[in-house]
Structure 1
Amino acid sequence: MGVIIPAVLLASATIIAWLLYKHLRMRQALKHLNQPRSYPIVGHGLVTKPDPEGFMNQVIGMGYLYPDPRMCLLWIGPFPCLMLYSADLVEPIFSSTKHLNKGFAYVLLEPWLGISILTSQKEQWRPKRKLLTPTFHYDILKDFLPIFNEQSKILVQKMCSLGAEEEVDVLSVITLCTLDIICETSMGKAIGAQLAENNEYVWAVHTINKLISKRTNNPLMWNSFIYNLTEDGRTHEKCLRILHDFTKKVIVERKEALQENDYKMEGRLAFLDLLLEMVKSGQMDETDVQAEVDTFMFEGHDTTSTGLMWAIHLLGNHPEVQRKVQAELDEVMGDDEDVTIEHLSRMKYLECALKEALRLFPSVPIITRELSDDQVIGGVNIPKGVTFLLNLYLVHRDPSQWKDPDVFDPDRFLPENSIARKSFAFIPFSAGSRNCIGQRFALMEEKVIMAHLLRNFNVKAVELMHEVRPKMEIIVRPVTPIHMKLTRRRPIVSP
């Protein structure tokens, strides 16, 4: 015993010394990069704002503080994170087939989303992407249009019950609509969220988003044992129970229904049907199904509802743009009540408006990638092991690519105005081989919901643009709710 204790202490001291040496070597290698003052081991932990609004202000401030080149180094604890925020600088990362691993922050999503197409490392991601790509085929997506139309009409009916001067919390009503859509399309189950009150699933999604973002900025909370002892950790566990119980129940029910029908799939198929067919054929196991369904549920309603909220807010602040969108919708749809595939392809200006909203407020503001090999960025050799923070929010505000970048102007996305723009100047769904697999689904859904809303109502924003303060969580949300007022444009037809 007298020999073991000194040996353990010596080994521990040696490991700590080695890690400290590696850390100091990395700091030396990166010292010439733009960066605010930081300290060994704790990095910028002593100055990082813990609240989402304060953190977002700091991140945006870095863009103004270091405009050339548009990159700066941040230390999250002992880990170096190089933030990139120009089309030129992010291009080598997005166009590479080597740097496909997500950063360390995605590990914090695994208790919720498992090892899914969003969180998996590149070795696991490649076969998952290959398997799942056919489930987003155009022929499958267009079969979802009746669901998009039906739920959009329910949303319109709900809006009809409001008084002329009544203010509506945009995100709350849109979220329930997108939740109904993703449940029916991804899991084949109608849950009637728009017709219910106090939806527990929505509360859990929003709460766990806040908790994960807060935890990401505090390295002391990355250890699960320590985190689970805190109040946030206990709330996190409660959210996980709600989220997983919901999807597990639906998966079991859907599997039993398919088994009773001997897996004879007829009519419109949900994503879950296709995943369970893969389980039956041995291409996937049930753990994978749970992970992918949880991921579809999160990405398929939370990001889309937030994107729609920002688009409605911007159109409500720009009535002249809103009128142009409405004129196009009236011309394209005529007397038709439902949006068709043919209609969608002709909604050119609506698409420009939605893209411009995504430029100003990309649903996911920052994505991370882990550098798997040395990489030259902006003429500087960045060593393996650095995590890149690809700041889409600031890439979309690069003045070299966007004139008056803070101005809402859908005309930017007209074909004649997009010719000279760099490929990676607009990347709301990420880019490269690891881009968002559901981006076509999301844009179709947004078009249908906006078409129904704007054909039936004029939308007026209650808050002016400068009065709304965004905060940076996993998703860009407003600090306080955004409201709108509606006035009818035409008689409402029952769904």
Structure 2
Amino acid sequence: MILTPIEFGALVLGLIVIWVSISLYRLRPILNFAKNYKGYKFYPVLGNYLTLWKRDLYKVHLQTTKELGLPCNLWFGHNYYYLTDDLDVIKVILNHPATIDKGKLYDQLEIVFGDCLLLVSGDTWKDKRKFFSKSFTQSKLTGFVHHFYQNSIVLLDCLKNSGDGDIFHVMGRYTFDSFCDSFLGKNYGLQTNAKNKFIERIDELQAFAGNHFLIPVSFYLPIRLICILGSGTRILKTVNELKQFIKRIIDNKKDELAQNPVVDNQLSFVDIMMSDNQNLFPPEMIQNEFFLFATAATDTIANTSSYIMILLGIYPDIQEKVYEEIITEIGKDKPIVPEDLNRLKYTERFMYESMRIIPAVPIIVRYTTEDIPVGSKVIPKDVNVSISTMNVHRNEKYWPNPMKFDPDRFLPEEVAKRNPYCYLPFSLGARNCIGKNYALLSLKVVIANVVRNYKITTKYKSIEEVPLRSYITMRAAISPDLHFVPRN
């Protein structure tokens, strides 16, 4: 039997009505939970789209929390997000075995990174985390300081010649070269090769993910199908371009290892995966994991170091204290070694305060795979619990006068007074950032070498003047006003 267009349309409409009815029926526990909290009007299929469609992810969280307060509800289609800055909830969510999975927000990254450490769940994640942790021991990280320093020397020339260039891209090239030096033993020279657009392409991917996350079709269709349509075809080309670049790096390393095997105590996770003789690590897995780590290190450290430079410009008195400590503890021209970094106590406190006021990752999302008791309430199964890092870090309940920039908040006696869950730049719990100590060492080196060589200035007079945006990580919405003046 051939259906007429009207009959076919009626059939499709009927199937949609049945699907919506079944979906809403299954959502009853979550709908009952959500009634206890403020939220925008929920529409079947659309969720809160009619309210949120003009906002990027940063504005969603910033404006939503201002308009509704916390905790509150957000609906992306029929995916429910419970936004909170309550430390009791945060502690449970970051440590409960049934919330080890990342939220649905991260599903769009699968097209880029596949089944990588960031996206897998359960026992698979535990096995991968255990494997990769061996490459981030303190002894191995200490050995990376030399690479950070050597690349920071190149960075000094790049900053001198950057003019009005985007500081985020400049710092991104530095962090990528440092990462490859550290884990591959080879420098790919992005800092001196303006033709390589790896950093810019990563920006494009973030923008695509952020812009498409709030489109209703993305609530229900796989990201791969969405990418076949409309502007997604360009993103598929970008993903392929990036993967081809990473593949060339991996292939070069394989050839190098075949000719010059690395001794066991020098092996990084890349070396181990590539030296595998039991086929435990297929080529696609090696590529995905390297792509993830390279991108994560490049993006988060580049963004953090960039707004650290902006903050140094905003607060010249603090910049001077950092400078004086660096000159006292390291000197003007001495190569930077690991022992030097341990003595930079004020610089370290400045770093921590920078990551408080502008966290690199403004939200942490975990997915509940069962009902989670938290105090007097129970968060239902299948909820995306969204921890608003920005709100936690700027909450006056936890931080007196939160918008005041004060590195001495991180004096040992002040830290001892606070709940540890009010500071989450690297998250906490089992699924915290595996590269935390790598990032801190890299940041210390780049701050020390840049500040002892340049005085940093900006037109901005306060943090509030810096326009921010976030898709996945936080950065300035436009190329910020920033100038590097050589010191005598």
TM-score, normalised via structure 2 length: 0.91
| Aligned: 1:94 with 2:94 | yes
CA distance in 1, matches of 2:280, 2:142: 25
The 2-side partners of 1:140 and 1:90 are apart by 32
Given the alignment of the two structures, is residue 485 of structure 1 paired with residue 487 of structure 2, yes or no? no
Q: Which moved more, 1:243-252 or 1:264-273?
A: 264-273
Tell me, in whole angstroms, the C-alpha distance in 2 between the residues paired with 1:273 and 1:426: 34
2:482 aligns to what SS in structure 1? strand
Alignment partners' CA distance in 1, 2:340 and 2:124: 38
Deviations 1:129-165 (A, max 9, x none): 1111111111111111111111101111233457xxx
1:243-278 deviation digits (Å, cap 9, x = unpaired): 1001111111211221223x343896554213323x
Deviation at 1:401, TM superposition (A): 0.8
Indicate the residue corresponding to 1:245 in structure 2: 244
C-alpha change, 1:139 and 1:281, in structure 2 (3 Å) is farther
Gaps of 5+ in 1: 491-495
> Partners of 1:167 and 1:299 in 2: how far apart?
25
Of the three residues 51, 54, 62, the one matched with 1:50 is 54
Count the aligned residue pairs: 479
3-state secondary structure, aligned to 1:147: helix
CA contact (8 A) 1:429 1:436 kept: yes
Q: State, as a whole percentage, how many aligned pairs show the same letter.
A: 26
Asked whether the equivalents of residues 178 and 301 of structure 1 are also in contact (C-alpha less than 8 Å), the reply is yes
**Unpaired segments ≥5 residues, structure 2:** none
Does 1:20 find its partner at 2:24?
yes
Cα distance change on mapping 1:225 and 1:133 into 2, 3 Å: closer
In structure 1, the partner of 2:474 is 476
Q: Does the aligned pair in 1 maintain the 2:29–2:380 contact within 8 Å?
A: no
The alignment partner of 1:403 has SS state of: coil
CA distance in 1, matches of 2:262, 2:164: 48
- TM alignment of 1:3-18, pairs within 5 A: 15-18=19-22
User: Separation in 1 of the partners of 2:197 and 2:124?
Assistant: 32
Letter in 2 for 1:80: Y
Q: State which drifts further: 370-379 or 267-276.
A: 267-276
The alignment yields a C-alpha RMSD, in angstroms, of: 2.5
Structure 1 residues 348-405: Cα deviation after superposition (integer angstroms, max 9, x where no partner): 1111111111111111111211111112346322211111111111111121111111
CA contact (8 A) 2:132 2:269 kept: no
CA distance in 2, matches of 1:225, 1:100: 25
1:38 aligned to 2:50? Answer: no
The CA distance in 1 between the partners of 2:181 and 2:375, in whole Å, is: 46
Tell me what 1:114 maps to: 114
State the partner residue of 1:493: none
CA deviation after TM superposition for structure 1 residue 472, in Å: 2.0
2:217 is matched with 220
More off after superposition, 346-355 vs 463-472: 463-472
Q: What's the offset of the Cα at 1:486?
A: 2.1
Q: How does 1:54-65 map to 2 (within 5 A)?
A: 55-65=57-67
Q: Deviations over 1:17-43 (max 9, x none)?
A: 322322355323421222233223311
* CA–CA separation in structure 1 for the residues paired with 2:112 and 2:256: 26
State the Cα distance separating 1:462 from its structure 2 match: 2.9
Q: Distance in 2 between matches of 1:45 and 1:189?
A: 46
Q: Aligned partners of 2:262, 2:476: CA distance in 1, in Å?
A: 46
Matches of 1:224 and 1:159, distance apart in 2: 38
- Distance between the aligned counterparts of 1:120 and 1:185, measured in 2? 25
Give 3-state SS (helix, strand or coil) of 2:422's partner: coil
| Matches for 1:82-481 after TM superposition, within 5 Å | 82-161=82-161, 169-221=166-218, 222-224=221-223, 226-261=225-260, 263-265=261-263, 270-277=268-275, 279-334=276-331, 337-377=334-374, 379-464=376-461, 465-481=463-479
The CA distance in 1 between the partners of 2:284 and 2:437, in whole Å, is: 26
Amino acid of the structure 1 residue aligned with 2:148: F
For the Cα contact (< 8 Å) 1:143–1:268, is it kept in 2?
Answer: no
2:262 and 2:271 in contact (8 A); partners too: no
Deviation, structure 1 residue 406:
1.6
- Comparing 113-122 with 79-88, which one deviates more in the overlay? 79-88
Q: Secondary structure at the match of 2:452?
A: helix
**Partners of 1:294 and 1:382 in 2: CA distance:** 34
In structure 1, C-alpha distance between the alignment counterparts of 2:178 and 2:481, rounded to whole Å: 22
Contact 1:462–1:485 (Cα < 8 Å) also in 2: no
CA distance in structure 1 between the partners assigned to 2:313 and 2:410 by the alignment: 19
Secondary structure at the counterpart of residue 73 of structure 2: strand
Distance in 1 separating the partners of 2:15 and 2:451: 67
TM-score normalised per structure 1:
0.90
* Deviation of the 1:172 alpha carbon: 2.6
Aligned counterparts of 1:61 and 1:216: Cα–Cα separation in 2 = 17
Distance 2:208 2:75 in 1: 21
Judge conservation of contact 1:303–1:475 (CA < 8 Å) in 2: yes
Between 463-472 and 435-444, the greater mean CA deviation after superposition = 463-472
